[in-house]
């Protein structure tokens, strides 16, 4: 059952058609009421942005433009798409580039950076192990500035952090990025931003040590609620870990 921002509910039934190898939804659902972010088990993300869909429709494009699929490499390094004029356009700048822009961009990106650092604080494994950004650095034979995290033994480039830390960094970044992009698209189409956020996380315990597994779900809810005071988040989590349930 999906409820629109106006409060109207629509019930639908999805059944699997083995001949067509596809899910059949009856009746066809209307536009989803809110921003949807799906964190997949392999480090990729699928995003549905209603404002982006409206923006695409205004430009004569298909409604599927509201769908964004970011492979793991896209999350970190960004990805391009093709415009209606055949020119390349950036769909997402990527964590490495946006982190540096937000950190060094001053007042223009202060809201982005504040939301990102707050998310990292909430998603940290413990109070004694806070995820705090350090000063950007350079790696040998790489012309990019690389973000770092402050560790007791010095600043560590994010590319050299553990799999657990990298997954949390990607989750925090994608949530903040998706929300900020939604705000931009909403302003362009002159619509109020969505107040509903649906966050789906698959294998939420992946790579996390036991203590972190116990803390991660409440932390994700705090991050989602912290994006805006008006946002009503809904969290769906898949897990095999008893510690997450605890």
Has residue 113 got a pLDDT over 90? yes
Using pLDDT thresholds of 50, 70 and 90, give the confidence band for residue 84. Answer: low
Q: What is the pLDDT, as a whole number, of residue 64?
A: 53
Nearest alpha carbon to residue 174 among 86, 98, 240: 98
Q: How does the average pLDDT of the chain come out, rounded?
A: 90
Contact 244, 237 (CB under 8 A): yes
Q: Mean of the pLDDT values across residues 175-198?
A: 92
Q: What is the pLDDT, as a whole number, of residue 213?
A: 96
The structure's pTM equals 0.89
Q: What is the pLDDT, as a whole number, of residue 83?
A: 62
Q: What is the pLDDT, as a whole number, of residue 26?
A: 87
Q: What is the pLDDT, as a whole number, of residue 110?
A: 95
The dihedral over CA atoms of 182, 185, 188, 194, expressed in degrees to the nearest 10, equals -40
Has residue 33 got a pLDDT over 70? no
Q: Mean of the pLDDT values across residues 159-177?
A: 97
Q: What is the pLDDT, as a whole number, of residue 87?
A: 72
Q: What is the pLDDT, as a whole number, of residue 194?
A: 87
Q: What is the pLDDT, as a whole number, of residue 75?
A: 97
DSSP-assigned letters across all residues of the chain: -EE-TTS-EE--EEEEETTTTEEEEESPP-S-SSEEEEE-TTS-EEEE-HHHHHHHHHTT--GGGGEEEE-HHHHHH-EEEE-TTS-EEEEE--HHHHHHHHHHSGGGGHHHHHHHHHHHHHTSSBTTB---B---EE-TT--SEE-EEEETTEEEEGGGS-HHHHHHHHHHHHHHHHHHHHHHHHHHTT-PPPSEEEEEESSTTTT--HHHHHHHHHHHHHHHHHT-TT-EEEEEE----HHHH-
Q: What is the pLDDT, as a whole number, of residue 215?
A: 95
pLDDT tens digit sequence for 36-70 = 999 999 999 999 998 888 877 766 565 556 789 99
């Amino acid at each position: 059952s999906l409820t629109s921002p106006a409060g109207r509910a629509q019930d639908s039934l999805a059944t699997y058609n083995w001949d067509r190898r596809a899910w059949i939804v009856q009746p066809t659902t209307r536009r989803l009421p809110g921003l949807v972010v799906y964190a997949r088990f392999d480090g990729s993300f699928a995003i549905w942005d209603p404002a982006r869909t409206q923006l695409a429709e205004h430009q004569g494009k298909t409604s599927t433009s509201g769908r964004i699929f970011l492979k793991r490499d896209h999350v970190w390094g960004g990805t391009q798409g093709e415009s209606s004029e055949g020119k390349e356009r950036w769909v997402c700048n990527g964590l490495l580039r946006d982190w540096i822009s937000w950190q060094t961009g001053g007042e223009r990106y202060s809201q982005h950076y504040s939301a990102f650092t707050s998310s990292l604080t909430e998603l940290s494994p413990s109070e004694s192990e806070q995820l705090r950004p350090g000063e950007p650095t350079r790696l040998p034979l790489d012309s990019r500035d690389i973000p770092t995290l402050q560790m007791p033994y010095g600043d560590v480039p994010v590319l050299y952090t553990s799999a657990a830390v990298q997954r949390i960094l990607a989750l925090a970044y994608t949530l903040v990025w998706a929300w900020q992009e939604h705000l931009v698209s909403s302003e362009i189409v002159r619509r109020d931003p969505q107040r509903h956020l649906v966050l789906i996380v698959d294998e939420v315990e992946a790579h996390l040590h036991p203590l972190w597994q116990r803390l991660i779900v409440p932390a994700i809810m705090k991050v989602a609620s912290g994006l805006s005071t008006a946002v009503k988040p809904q969290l769906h989590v898949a897990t095999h870990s008893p510690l997450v349930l605890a």
